[in-house]
Structure 1
Amino acid sequence: MGESIRKPAGYIKDFMQQVFIGLGVPVADAEICADVLVAADLRGIDSHGINRLKPIYYDRIKAGIQYPNAPIDIVREGPTTAVLDANNGMGMVVSHKAMAMAVEKAKKLGLGMTVVRNSTHYGIAGYYPLMAVEQGCIGLSGTNARPSIAPTFGVENMLGTNPQTWAMPTDEEFPFFLDCATSVSQRGKIEVYARTGKTMPEGWVVRRDGSTATDPNQVLKDLIAGEAALTPLGGIGEDGGGYKGYGYAVVTEVLSAALQGGQFLKALSGFDEAGERRPYRLGHFFLAIDIEAFTELEIFKKSIGDILRSLRASDKAPGQERIYTAGEKEWEAYRVRSVEGIEIPASVAQEFRTMADELGISGFDW
C-alpha cells in the first residue's frame, strides 16, 4: 500500500484550494471548502477530511452532479430566520453563509436559525457551530444525507447518518464540541477501515437477513447496493437504545427537509429512477443562540467549564486513567497536528497526484 506521508496543514490547504479553483470554484469559495476539509483532519476527524476531496467533491463535480459556482438564493427571510437554496452548489460555501446569517441574527435578537435546501455534502457538521462559538454563541447544525441507516427493527437503508452537532464556549482552552452521527458509525469511518485494511466491529451494520457484517470493503459495496444498512446509535433492536438514535435521525431529517420544503429519505440517493446519477439535493439547518441574551458570557463560560471539570474529576472505572468531555480529544489532536502536520495515507497521496496531473497543478510534492 506504500508509505504514508506527513505535511503541514497550510500546505495541504493550499493544494486543495488550487484543486477547487481548477474545478471552477471561485477563489474565496475554494478557500472555505479547503478550510472545512483541513479542519476535520486537524481535529482528528479523519473520516471527513482530506481523504474525501476526490471521491466526494472532485469526482462529483467532474460527473456534473455538483456545481462549482452555483448561485445561492435566499428564498425566504425574517428577523430571526432564513431559507436558502444552494442550487446543487458547494455545500460548504452555502453552509458558511447560512451559519454566518444565523449568528448575525442571533447577535441582534438573541436567536437565529437558517435552513438550506438543494445542497451537497458540507464536510464536518462541527465546523459551523464552531463559527458560532467564535462570536460568543451556542451553535447547532445538522444535515440529512444519502440513505444509510435502517430504522429500528428494519434492514433497509432509509435515513442518512444525520448528525446533530453542538458547540459551546467555555473558560478552558477548547470549547464543548459534540460532533457525531445518529448512527453507531458512519460511511466515512468505514472508508478509513477499508483503506487501512482493518476489520469493522460487529454491530455497525445490519444485512438484509438481519445479520451483522465486518468486512469494510464488502460493506461499502453492500451499502450502495442496498444489501446492508448502518445501525442507528444504540445498535440493532431496542435493547441497547437503538430507537433513540433512530428517533434523533428522524428529527434531523425533518429539520433538514420538511422545514424548508427539501428532499428526504430515498430521494437523496443520488440516482434517478433510471439509475442515472443526479445531484443529491441535501438539506442542512443552523442555529445560533446569543448567550448574552440570557446571561453574561463570562458567567456562562465559567459555569460550563465547572460542569466539564467536575465530570472529568469524577470517579473513574477500574483500569481507566482518564475521563474526557466532548471536544477534548479534538483539541488534543489539533494541538499536535497543527505543529507536526497531517498524515496523508499513501492512497490519498496518489489521489492528490492524479488530481494535480489532471488539472495541471504544480509545485506540490506528494
Structure 2
Amino acid sequence: MEENVRYDPKALRVFMERVFLHFGIPENDARLATDVLAYSDEHGIDSHGIARLKTYYGLLRAGRINPKPRVKLIREKHAVVQVDGDNGLGLVVGPKCMDIAIEKAGNYGSGSVAVCHTNHFGAAGYYPLMAVKHDFIGMAMTNTSKGVAPFLGKERMLGTNPVAMAFPADKEPTVLMDFASSTVAYGKVEIARRAGKKIPEGWCLDANGDATTAPEKMINGGALLPLGSSREGSGHKGYCLAGMVDILSAVLSGANWGPFAIPFAIDTVGGGRQVGKGIGHFFSAWDVDGFREVGEFKQEMDQWVKTLRASIPLPGEAEVLIPGDPEWRSYRERTKSGIPLQGEVVADLKAIAQETGIAMPHRTS
C-alpha cells in the first residue's frame, strides 16, 4: 500500500466539504467543519485531520450525530455560559461556542463557555487562534472517550483531554500551545500502527498493565499513560491536568465525564452508562486590553519569543523552538508541496468516494 502520497490542500478541502454536504449539513456548517479538519492537515497534525473523516462519515451515516444542530444557551450569567450542542458535529459546535466566548470577552473583558451534548471537535489549537484574530488570548479544551489510565492505575478511565492556548504577538508568530494531557495523543498510536512501526517506551500499557512499544497491544485492551508516564516522571502532573480538563469540559457543562464519555470510534459498541449528554468542551477568551495596552503586550510577546529562541540548544539540536513553530513551519511547507497521507487513509477516502459518488481529490505527487 502506498505511503505518504501528497494531495493538494484545496482539493482535500473540497472533498471534505462535499462529504459533509452529502449528509445534509448546511453549507456554512459544512465549510466550517472542513476548515477545522483542514487546519490539522495543513499544520502538521496528521492525527486530527482528514484521517478522522472516516469516523465522522460513519457516525453521520449511522445517524449518531445530528447534521443540523441548534446550539442552545441553557444558562448564562454575565461572562459565563452553559451551552447544549444538540448532538451536533464538534467541528461545528466548537467554533460557534468559541465565538460566544469571544463575544463575551468583547463585552466583559473575558468570556467562558462550557458546552455539553457535543462530539469530537478536532485539534484544540484551532479554537484559541480564533480569539487571537481579535487580539485576545484564547483557550480551548475537551474531554474525550476513555483511553488513558489514571496515575498508578492500568484501567482506561480518562480521555487524552487536550488543552490549547494562544497568545498574540506583534511581528513574531502567534505563540500556540496545543497538547494532550496524556503522554501522547491516541491518533499518534494509530499512525504508528498504520505505518507498522513501534512506539516509544513510556507511551502506553498493554492489557496487563505492562509497558509496551507495540501499538496494537495498547489499542487492544491497553491504555495510554498520563503526561509524565510514571512515578519517576511525575505522571501525577498529567493526571491532574487531565482531571482539570475533564471537570471543566464535562462536569461543569453537564456532559459525560471520565470513563462515561461517549466513544468516538464508530465500531465501538454502545456507550455504557451515561451520566450526562455527549462529551463536553470548554472555551475561554480574554481581552488583553483589560490587562495592559494591546500594542505593548504584543511587543513584549515579541521579546519573549526572541529571548527564548536565542537560548542555547542541547548538543545535537539545531535550535530552541517556540510553541507553535512546528505548526507554522508545516503550514508553509504543506501549502506548497501538498498534504502527505498514509496509504490506509487514502484507501478510506477511496471507499467514501465510491460509496458517495464524490470524486477523489487530486494528488500533487
Q: Into which bin does the TM-score normalised by the smaller protein fall?
A: over 0.9
Task: Map 1:15-54 onto structure 2 (within 5 A).
Answer: 15-54=15-54
Aligned counterparts of 2:167 and 2:361: Cα–Cα separation in 1: 37
Q: Do the aligned residues in 1 keep the contact of 2:85 with 2:117 (CA within 8 Å)?
A: yes
Deviations 1:66-86 (A, max 9, x none): 222222111112331211111
Please tell me the residue identity of whatever aligns with 2:247. V
For 2:263, the equivalent position in structure 1 comes to 270
Deviation at 1:88, TM superposition (A): 1.4
1:239 matched to 2:238? The reply is no
Partner of 1:135: 134
Give the whole-Å Cα distance in 1 for the aligned partners of 2:247 and 2:128.
19
Distance 1:208 1:277, change over 3 A: closer
Alpha-carbon contact 2:143-2:279 (below 8 Å) kept:
yes
Query: Offset at 1:353?
Result: 1.6
Deviation at 1:41, TM superposition (A): 1.2
**8 A Cα contact 2:183 2:229, kept in partner:** yes
Structure 2 match to 1:225: none
CA distance in 1, matches of 2:262, 2:305: 39
Tell me the distance in 2 between the aligned counterparts of 1:160 and 1:68: 25
Identity %: 39
| Distance in 1 (alpha carbons) for counterparts of 2:340 and 2:346 | 10
The amino acid of 1:13's aligned partner reads R
Q: 1:2 to 1:246 in 2, by over 3 A?
A: same
C-alpha distance in 1, partners of 2:171/2:120? 31
Which of 286, 291, 294 is the aligned partner of 1:289?
Answer: 286
Query: Superposition pairs for residues 23-102 of structure 1, below 5 Å?
Result: 23-55=23-55, 57-102=56-101
Which whole-Å CA distance do the structure 2 matches of 1:306 and 1:249 have between them?
A: 31
Amino acid of the residue matched to residue 270 of structure 2?
R
Partner of 1:145: 144
> 1:65 touches 1:277 (CA, 8 Å); kept in 2?
no
Matched, 1:301 2:294: no
C-alpha distance in structure 1 between counterparts of 2:225 and 2:281, whole Å: 22
Instruction: Please give the secondary structure, in 2, of the residue aligned with 1:284.
Output: strand
User: Whole-Å Cα distance in 1 between the matches of residues 237 and 120 of structure 2?
Assistant: 25
- Structure 2: distance between partners of 1:7 and 1:362: 13
2:164 counterpart of 1:159: no
Q: CA deviation at 1:269?
A: 4.1
Aligned-residue RMSD, C-alpha: 1.7
2:208 is equivalent to residue 209 of structure 1: yes
Contact 2:145 2:261 in 1 (8 A): yes
Q: In the alignment, is the contact (CA less than 8 A) between 2:228 and 2:235 conserved in 1?
A: yes
User: Is the 2:141–2:282 contact (alpha carbons within 8 Å) kept by the matching residues of 1?
Assistant: yes
Corresponding letter in the other structure for 1:166: M
Deviation at 1:159, TM superposition (A): 0.6
Q: Residues 42-86 of structure 1: CA distance to partner in whole angstroms, max 9, x if unpaired?
A: 11111111111102x011112222222222111112331211111
Give the match for residue 349 of structure 2. Answer: 352
What's the CA shift for 1:351?
1.4
Q: Could you tell me how far apart the structure 1 residues matched to 2:241 and 2:53 are?
A: 28
Counterparts of 1:95 and 1:315, CA distance in 2? 39
- Residue 270 of structure 1: how far off its partner (Å): 3.1
**Is the CA contact (8 Å cut-off) linking 2:206 and 2:218 kept in structure 1?**
no
Instruction: Note closer, same or farther for the CA distance 1:230–1:276 as it changes in structure 2 (3 Å cut).
Output: closer
Number of the residue aligned with 1:255: 248
Find the aligned partners of 1:186 and 1:289 in 2 and give their Cα distance: 27
**Distance of 1:191 and 1:270 partners within structure 2:** 16
Superposed displacement of residue 118, structure 1: 1.0
Match of residue 230, structure 1, among 224, 230, 233: 224
1:245-271, CA deviations, whole angstroms, 9 ceiling, x for partnerless residues? 000100001001121222111211439
Letter of the structure 2 residue corresponding to residue 354 of structure 1: A
Which runs of no fewer than 5 residues in structure 1 stay unpaired? 223-227
Report the alpha carbon displacement of residue 141 of structure 1 after superposing the two structures with TM. Answer: 0.5
For 1:221 and 1:68, locate their aligned partners in 2 and report how far apart those are by CA, in whole Å.
31
Could you tell me how far apart the structure 1 residues matched to 2:106 and 2:353 are? 42
> Quick one: distance in 1 between partners of 2:147 and 2:346?
28
Distance 1:218 1:151 in 2: 18
Give, in whole Å, the separation in 2 of the partners of 1:253 and 1:346. Answer: 34
What is the CA–CA distance in structure 1 between the aligned matches of 2:156 and 2:79, rounded to whole Å? 35
TM value normalised by structure 1: 0.93
Say how many residue pairs are matched: 356
SS at 1:349 equivalent: helix
